[in-house]
Chains A and B, each alone.
Chain A
Amino acid sequence: MIQPNLERIFNICLYGIVILPILLIASGGGTQLILAGVTLALVALSWVGHKRRWGFFVPQKVWDYIVVTFVVLSVLSFLVSDVSVLDQAIQLLLVLTCVRLFSRLSVREDFQVFVLSFITLAAATTVNEDLVYGIVFSVYVLAGTFTLAVFHLRNELLERPRMAFRSPPRLDKPYALVLVGMSGVVLFFSLALFFVFPRVGLGFFAPQDRDGQSMVGFSESVELGGHGLVRDNPQVVLRVEFPEGRPKFSDYHWRMLSFDHYDGKSWSRTLDESDTRQINWRRPLDDVYPSQGAPVMLQMYLEPLDTTLLPTLFPTQSIKLGTPNLTMPIGPRSGRITLDSYNDIRHTIPSNVGVPYMVWVAEPTTTRRSKPLDPVPSAFVQLPTLSTNFKNLAVQAADGASAPQEIASNIERFLESNYTYTTDLPKVGKNPVEDFLFTTRRGHCEYFATAATLLLRQNGVPARIVNGFYGGRWNNVGNYWAVRQGDAHSWVEYFDPDVGWMKLDPTPPSEMPLPNPLVDAVRKTLDASKLLWTKWVIEYDLAAQIDLIRSAANAIQPAPPKQPGESSETSWKGLVVFVTLVGLGVMFVFWIRRRRGRLEPIQAAFEIIEKAATRHQISRRVDEGPADFIDRIDQKLAIPEIQRFKAIYLASRFGQDQIDLNLLRNLAKKIASQIKTSPKENV
């Protein structure tokens, strides 16, 4: 029996670190919720069982039989059903944990519970890789470290029963504070080691894979008359950082996939899919998208998607995989970027890996080229069988224009002014576009884009429908632009041989309800945390490690010499933070010194003399009291006032006399200086 509160603290901590991994596994779907609930109930019951010492009454053989029976049943169920080995292993871990919690009677079994909880945490890595793992891991490190330290102290006292009853209490405040601080240090070291441990070895070529998101909003096919777009799906698919500043335009169309052939109901692709060419990022895509001015670089992070398409911001000038610091030549994140006949851009990286890449974007322009471009394939002017009404409407929408840009502009204005955006789709017939144009006059972006494409083609302008995402939201917590599933959109690209492929978005703006500010803030924070978690933990690999090292090297290398006339920019923010931190540090040191001086001024005075004597090769012996030590100094050095100091010191320290602390301190300093100047021959 040891100190009761220590035993209670240990039990609480132990149960905490047992429950955490079980919750993690349950939240990750590693076991059925009912099974997790039963396990937690058994864990709770074992608390009572441990207090009442049930383990004494149940022979160890009974527990062994339970475990063996479970193992046999698991093997049988594995043989006759398609239960995965991992699920069985997790269930076995839960059973073992429960059995050990019920039967724990000694230090050995307590340690086994600790090991089992850790193995369960390791097993949870296979079923839960979400941000919640990071949170639970942090709590586990803090609680686990504390538990292990309390476990040690408890064991030491168990080995020495007489110590356990001796006062003062064992887990008092200073000891507990040391343990808490130590837990924090362990967490810090854990993260530091995680980042610096080289990601080389057998898993060098193993990708940091994740489950790809199923695309809810975006689709690789367009079929009118289907479901409406999911506008409120907040799942982020693309995050964009602007290290060189934002582009000069504000309507962001994140282009992904385009179609050429419309059969009256759905869009498809008819051009040769194998006709692709590899993109060299040094050669701008000027022949595809017209742009002007200096491009800015956008750092993109694409979530694992069920597609190899890369979203690019219209008008993309160039694209490259990786980050400014690193592009992996080999390994899971290496790959190529290709451009097909539709100017759609794809990557060759496995789809279960998040893809970092850079996109250079300039300002779109309508300026005519000096030399007209080659004509585009006839597939982009293909039309299904259309009614006379449609043909008349096409003429009406073009409003007598002849140039492609004018026609496009007129059609856009026509659709925006005469039709309404809705996701609550009315029922349409066999010809959805004509129903939309002549009957319902309401529809979502796919209706508008399809109608505009067909109207353009009817007027002889090559056009195609494009799927992708539109807009997004600025995440001020993580300082990036977040594009969500709900931002999926369709629009049109038309071809002007004098300019190139131009964008046309005929969908009128819709009124989106403003999100609840609190919910929005929480959502943004969560998403920023998820990005950090994904970027720096889940997908942290050799590439990211090299990237990090290069970034650190860039940060600490000396700044390049300033050019003549270059304005001197001072980072006032950083300077203020630095000065504040230094100031706080100085104040802390002063506070500690003052506090120590206030608490133990008498001892501090004695220590001044002790230190001076030690430097003078008169060290205080282990079993030597202060009076004997002072006498020895006096005997060796014959300091005039040292006996006076001794009298004051002893009277104040042990006699509780009220003395002038300054007098004592000054006297100690004086004696110390006399010791210092004493000839060493006397020693």
Chain B
Amino acid sequence: MALPLPNPNASQTFSSRMKTWSRPPRRLTMTTGGKFFVLLTLTVGFGAINTGNNLLFLLMGMLLSLITVSGLLSEAVLRSIHASRKLPARLVAGQETACTYIVKNASDSPSLSLEIADLTATALAGPAALDSRRLGLFRHPWWKVWKKSQNEGRALASAYAVRIEPKSVTEIEGAVNFPVRGRFRLEHVTALTRFPFGLFEKSREWDSEQEVLVEPSPLDEESWRGALLSRLGEVDTHKEGPGEEFFGLREFREGEDARAIHWKSSARRNTLLVRETERRHHRRVVVVVLDRAPAPTGPDYDRFEIGIRRTAGLLHSLHAAGFTIGRGPEDYERILDSLATIALAPGNPILDSKPADATRIVMGLQTSLDATSLDPDDVALSFDEGSS
């Protein structure tokens, strides 16, 4: 019995289907040079029609044919390709990171001068999501020719290839750069070409949803790091392990490093003894970032952003120095993810109970810290202080 094939559109909502249906198959914008070119064409055309000078008609024919050929060839470039993206696992705001686009060219002819890009992203969490911002490249309608450029901003990720061979699948290396931290949804992969003359930019896009998490760009804060390391120091673990303090003696085992033998004791006992050291261990720290502040103002949000970056820098420093952050490596990753999406909101900060075996570092705006009852052992770091 034949089973009905699943409908790929079944899960789509009506509005998304309408959006897909109403989307133009190609987008066309003029570059700055293209605007001058069109203006020149109109001028020559007017001159030709006004004077009846056939040589001007000839020139107009040339200009119009350049436009025509431009449209045909750019269509040939885009017609038979399909693109998808491969982004790196971790992205840091403001840092250019390598990425890859996979382009399949099903045509018998090569696609020339092709750019694949993620032009925009929707902010789902983080500071950009507060005002429902879309990041990336914004395009003015084609008829707003008086704009200096039809595009504003820049693509979030892009890659360029001079040529995609026919009947091939090619990986193009590009770069991705999100200006701000947060969690974003990429919705389309766009292929653009200004081939062959750079007068017009034609593009087509494919639906390709993917969520990305952009971590804050770490900012190293010397004063914070120095203050913390001088205060936290190291603790005894009462366990054997790598370290410098004497822990005990035991018999030498076959295969152990001979340099560990304690020769004096061995001579005294008349058997080979090895010197054991006590394992040294860094303190476990718990980082708390206060994301509530009573009546935050505009500058507070800016200081908060800087503070998040400094927090990220501090976490990197502590991690590199061997501190255990949270409950272990998983927590470290989780905290970094939280730092990507945390956003300042008005309200009273809430502080959980202090863990017994860890030093708690409480960070936030000064107004948040003031509104919180801190434990005397807590380390409080204010976003309002520091060199940044």
Q: Would B196 and A149 count as touching, CB distance under 8 A?
A: yes
Given contacts A141-B62, A194-B61, A197-B60, contact A203 B52 (CB under 8 A): yes
How far apart sit A305 and B61, CA to CA, in the bound complex (Å)? 30
Kindly identify which residue among B54, B83, B110, B195 contacts A537, using a CB–CB cutoff of 8 Å.
B54
Q: Would B65 and A623 count as touching, CB distance under 8 A?
A: no
- In the assembled complex, the CB of B32 is this many whole angstroms from the nearest CB of chain A, namely 8
- In the assembled complex, the CB of A672 is this many whole angstroms from the nearest CB of chain B, namely 17
How far apart sit A617 and B198, CA to CA, in the bound complex (Å)? 38
Against A, the Cβ 8 Å flags (1 = close, 0 = not) of B73-96 are: 100000000111000000000000
Q: Would A189 and B52 count as touching, CB distance under 8 A?
A: no
- In the assembled complex, the CB of B37 is this many whole angstroms from the nearest CB of chain A, namely 8
- Interface segment, one of A152-160, A358-366, A637-645, A662-670: A152-160
- Interface segment, one of A174-182, A290-298, A340-348, A437-445: A174-182
How far apart sit A542 and B34, CA to CA, in the bound complex (Å)? 31
Q: Would A541 and B55 count as touching, CB distance under 8 A?
A: no
How far apart sit A133 and B53, CA to CA, in the bound complex (Å)? 13
Residues of B within 8 A of A163 (CB): 160, 162
- In the assembled complex, the CB of A379 is this many whole angstroms from the nearest CB of chain B, namely 44
Kindly identify which residue among B62, B102, B198 contacts A622, using a CB–CB cutoff of 8 Å.
B102
Count A interface residues, CB 8 Å. 60
> For B5, B62, B68, B83, which residue has the most chain A Cβ atoms within 10 angstroms?
B62
Against B, the Cβ 8 Å flags (1 = close, 0 = not) of A535-572 are: 00111110000000000000000000000000000000
Q: Would A174 and B57 count as touching, CB distance under 8 A?
A: no
Kindly identify which residue among B57, B84, B169 contacts A197, using a CB–CB cutoff of 8 Å.
B57
- In the assembled complex, the CB of A158 is this many whole angstroms from the nearest CB of chain B, namely 11
10 further A-B pairs in the complex, CB-CB below 8 A; given A208-B52, A541-B52: A122-B47, A129-B55, A149-B196, A156-B160, A188-B65, A197-B60, A203-B50, A204-B52, A207-B52, A623-B84
Verify if A603 is at the interface (C-beta below 8 Å from B).
Answer: yes
How far apart sit A116 and B62, CA to CA, in the bound complex (Å)? 16
Residues of B within 8 A of A199 (CB): 52, 57
Q: Would A125 and B56 count as touching, CB distance under 8 A?
A: yes
State which residues 518-544 of A face B: CB under 8 Å. Answer: 537-541
- In the assembled complex, the CB of B188 is this many whole angstroms from the nearest CB of chain A, namely 15
> For A133, A163, A193, which residue has the most chain B Cβ atoms within 10 angstroms?
A193
Residues of A within 8 A of B68 (CB): 189, 193
Q: Would A202 and B160 count as touching, CB distance under 8 A?
A: no
18 interchain pairs, CB-CB under 8 A: A111-B36, A115-B36, A121-B59, A125-B59, A133-B55, A137-B58, A148-B198, A186-B65, A189-B61, A190-B58, A190-B62, A190-B65, A194-B61, A208-B54, A537-B55, A622-B82, A622-B83, A681-B3
- In the assembled complex, the CB of A13 is this many whole angstroms from the nearest CB of chain B, namely 13
In the complex, the 7 A-B pairs of residues with the closest C-beta atoms, listed nearest first: A203-B52, A189-B65, A152-B198, A206-B52, A125-B55, A201-B49, A194-B61
Q: Would B62 and A182 count as touching, CB distance under 8 A?
A: no
Verify if B10 is at the interface (C-beta below 8 Å from A).
Answer: no
Residues of A within 8 A of B30 (CB): none
- In the assembled complex, the CB of B254 is this many whole angstroms from the nearest CB of chain A, namely 49
Residues of B within 8 A of A133 (CB): 55
Question: Nearest residue in B to A145 (C-beta to C-beta)?
Answer: B66
- In the assembled complex, the CB of A342 is this many whole angstroms from the nearest CB of chain B, namely 35
Question: Nearest residue in B to A178 (C-beta to C-beta)?
Answer: B112
Q: Would A175 and B49 count as touching, CB distance under 8 A?
A: no
Residues of B within 8 A of A115 (CB): 36, 40
Verify if B163 is at the interface (C-beta below 8 Å from A).
Answer: yes
How far apart sit A160 and B54, CA to CA, in the bound complex (Å)? 42
Q: Would A152 and B51 count as touching, CB distance under 8 A?
A: no
Q: Total A-B residue pairs with C-beta atoms closer than 8 Å?
A: 144
Residues of A within 8 A of B69 (CB): 145, 182, 185-186, 189
Verify if A62 is at the interface (C-beta below 8 Å from B).
Answer: no
Count B interface residues, CB 8 Å. 49
Q: Would A152 and B54 count as touching, CB distance under 8 A?
A: no
Q: Would B66 and A197 count as touching, CB distance under 8 A?
A: no
Q: Would A155 and B198 count as touching, CB distance under 8 A?
A: yes
> For A133, A155, A175, A186, which residue has the most chain B Cβ atoms within 10 angstroms?
A186
How far apart sit A600 and B16, CA to CA, in the bound complex (Å)? 43
Question: Nearest residue in B to A159 (C-beta to C-beta)?
Answer: B160
How far apart sit A296 and B66, CA to CA, in the bound complex (Å)? 46
How far apart sit A179 and B66, CA to CA, in the bound complex (Å)? 12
How far apart sit A188 and B196, CA to CA, in the bound complex (Å)? 17
Q: Would B162 and A202 count as touching, CB distance under 8 A?
A: no
- In the assembled complex, the CB of A107 is this many whole angstroms from the nearest CB of chain B, namely 9
How far apart sit A188 and B83, CA to CA, in the bound complex (Å)? 34
Verify if A457 is at the interface (C-beta below 8 Å from B).
Answer: no
Verify if A50 is at the interface (C-beta below 8 Å from B).
Answer: no
Residues of A within 8 A of B197 (CB): 145, 148-149, 151-152
Given contacts A125-B56, A179-B196, contact A152 B160 (CB under 8 A): no
Verify if B202 is at the interface (C-beta below 8 Å from A).
Answer: no
Against B, the Cβ 8 Å flags (1 = close, 0 = not) of A117-139 are: 01101100100010001000100
Verify if B336 is at the interface (C-beta below 8 Å from A).
Answer: no
